[in-house]
Amino acid sequence: MRHVKDLLNLTGQVAIITGGAAGIGLQMAYAMGEAGADVVLAARKLDRCTEVARKMEKELGIRVLAARCDVSIHEEIDALYEQVMREFKRVDILINNSGATWGAPSLEYPIEAWQKVINTNVNGTWLMCQRAGRIMSKQMYGRIINLASLAAFVGAPADVMDAVAYQTSKAAVAGLTKDLAVKWARYNITVNAIAPGWFPSKMSQGVLDSSGEKMKGFIPMGRFGGEDELKAATLFLASPGAGYTTGVILSVDGGWVAM
């Protein structure tokens, strides 16, 4: 029987986190690094990734690669994986955190907004998974964590969140997660998703500022998520100890979906 410290130890592994240099992505990147993994921070803003990478290397004593990647552009995804394989020769963990949203009334929702959100949140997640799956299937080991949302399970009143493409995209991510979990189990690849509730971030701040107090009424715990309250959930799903856990959508939302 393995010790619990070994079950949660990521030493020697390589973890890619898209959108990992800010917000909840930064929480998850630190969870990987603090458990011993080398980390790849991939996002559209390379300067921010580089700044965070230097800080993490100094604090944690791990290798951190900063890489530019817009997941809505498949050529940039291919380039990212080529860069990671040159540097590390392997990919053990993928966390698909990059995302986009666009607020507009549903009856007038512009097609360009719909396409932007779906292309980033659904197509980008799928292509990142597929490229990782090709590597992990040869390794016969992998952990993929997609970012769904409480929005995958519930509708939202327009005065709380008027972003129909975002709601739709996160439901698609949940479905993709379950299907890949079944298809890739034979390769010892687990595919799970975290469905966060409301955590303060650059993406969510506008909604929290305008509707925050009203939204707390939907949260049994009566508050938003904290700066470290995704780390343990992420580490578990990324760990060797989660080898029999796949196809799970893990809600971290203060009880919203349980209502």
Active-site residue numbers? 166
Per-residue tokens: 20: 């990992």
For Cα atoms 47, 50, 52, give the angle at the middle one, nearest 5 degrees. Answer: 110
Q: Which amino acid is at 56?
A: M
- Give the CA distances from residue 60 to residues 11, 32, 45, 86, 180, in Å, rounded to whole numbers and listed in that order: 12, 10, 22, 22, 32
Per-residue tokens: 53: 């990478």
Report d(CA 120, CA 74) in Å as an integer.
10
Short-list 239, 257, 249, 182, CA closest to 32: 239
Per-residue tokens: 232: 């343990």
Q: Which residues contact 3 (CB under 8 A, 6 or more apart)?
A: none
Residue 119, SS3 per DSSP: helix
Report d(CA 100, CA 166) in Å as an integer.
8
Helices (H), 61-201: 74-88, 111-118, 124-139, 164-184
Report d(CA 253, CA 244) in Å as an integer.
24
